[in-house]
Structure 1
Amino acid sequence: MGDVAVTNVVLLVVAVLAPTVLFWLLLRLPRVVDGLGAAVRRRRGPSPTGPPIERLAADLERVRRTLAEFPPGTPQVRRRAAGEAYDALLAQACRAVDVPHTLDQLPQGMAREVERLRVEEALRRAGIS
């Protein structure tokens, strides 16, 4: 009879503790999954923050072509807006390939045109045509 009583006590303890342990494990599961996901992200390295460089290059070419093909009589506001968009794209491309620039610090005029030409050449050397 002694063995049966011990077996019954063990079964009773397992029956009482099993649901508690099961629910505790279910509550910990999201943390474990998040921890595994973070470990995988760390192993892969940092993810890029901006658009793909291929898209930036295509956008730069499109806006550059638009600027060159403006017909005579195009309103100055439109030319200036396209120039600002082009400068913003140049700045994004510079950040993507770690090319220093001062486009956002210069006012409109000759100094900004010279900086734009310098940046375009630096981006060409970095592989963005």
Structure 2
Amino acid sequence: MHVPLLQIGGTVAVVAALIAWTGPVVRWVRRIADRRRAARNPAPGCRPLQVVAADVRRLARSVALVPAGSPMARRRALAAAYDDVLIEAAGLLEVPQELRATPEGPARDVERLRLLAALEGAGLAVRG
């Protein structure tokens, strides 16, 4: 069977054009897949400010309403969780804090109150 040379040249041109188009198409498909993967798996430790603010309010209520006679481990765990979420909120709002470096006791309570006032001053609704 005899195939004209012009027809073979046209086929080669089509194949060359397809190869030239595959590079940008593959890069485009990969970019879309990367965006979808990033949307499904957000960066760890980057919670939205609204969620952190809700945790601040929830833990503030929990710390204030610890029933009398509850174990000291529960009180300390709630206080530690509350301090962690306050520190996270301070980091998101770029508010300076010394809560982690302050030892337990009255000094830490004062620093906690100062940090709460600073977060309110930065616009976070800490009382709900």
Residues 1:65 and 2:81 aligned together = no
Q: Where does structure 1 lack aligned partners over 5 or more consecutive residues?
A: 1-7, 39-46
Task: Determine helix, strand or coil for the equivalent of 1:18.
Answer: helix
> What are the residue-to-residue correspondences of 1:1-129 with 2, within 5 Å?
9-33=5-29, 50-129=46-125
User: Quick one: percent identity of the two aligned structures?
Assistant: 35
* C-alpha separation in 1, matches of 2:124 and 2:26: 43
Task: Determine helix, strand or coil for the equivalent of 1:63.
Answer: helix
TM-score by length of 1: 0.74
Amino acid at match of 1:12: I
* C-alpha separation in 2, matches of 1:29 and 1:103: 51
Aligned residues: 113
Task: Determine helix, strand or coil for the equivalent of 1:114.
Answer: helix
The answer to which structure has the higher helix fraction is 1
* C-alpha separation in 2, matches of 1:115 and 1:88: 13
Instruction: Give the CA deviation at 1:10.
Output: 4.3
Q: Where does structure 2 lack aligned partners over 5 or more consecutive residues?
A: 35-42
Q: 1:31 to 1:79 in 2, by over 3 A?
A: same
Q: What is the Cα-based RMSD across aligned positions, in Å?
A: 2.6
Instruction: Give the CA deviation at 1:33.
Output: 4.7
Task: Determine helix, strand or coil for the equivalent of 1:105.
Answer: coil
* C-alpha separation in 2, matches of 1:22 and 1:52: 44
**Larger Rg belongs to:** 1
* C-alpha separation in 1, matches of 2:6 and 2:51: 66
* C-alpha separation in 2, matches of 1:102 and 1:17: 68
Q: 1:31 to 1:85 in 2, by over 3 A?
A: same
Instruction: Give the CA deviation at 1:32.
Output: 3.7
Q: 1:111 to 1:10 in 2, by over 3 A?
A: farther
Instruction: Give the CA deviation at 1:35.
Output: 6.1
